[in-house]
Amino acid sequence: MTARMGKRLGSAALLVAIASFSTAAVAHHSAAQFDFAQTVRIEGVVKEMRVANPHIALFLEVTDGKGKRVIEYEGHSRNNVYRR
């Protein structure tokens, strides 16, 4: 294998790796799981709040017809929350 061919093969492998990771990042930050047309109101007691990268987490203790349960909310990163 010549040096020129090795460089091309290395460049092609790097390009494939970059393309593979970029699609995973887009899928990870997708909003497809959210229904923006519906508003949900929940009343409860905040049991815990974690503000850490990559996402914030809020744990609510809610009492409903089934009794007490904990609901976990996962939001944007703290940088995105602070910017809003």
Mean pLDDT by 10 residues, the chain (84 residues): 73 74 57 78 90 83 87 77 60
Angstrom distance (rounded) from CA 39 to CA 73: 14
pTM of the model: 0.50
* DSSP H or E segment with residue 73: strand 67-74
CB 9 within 8 A of CB 17: no
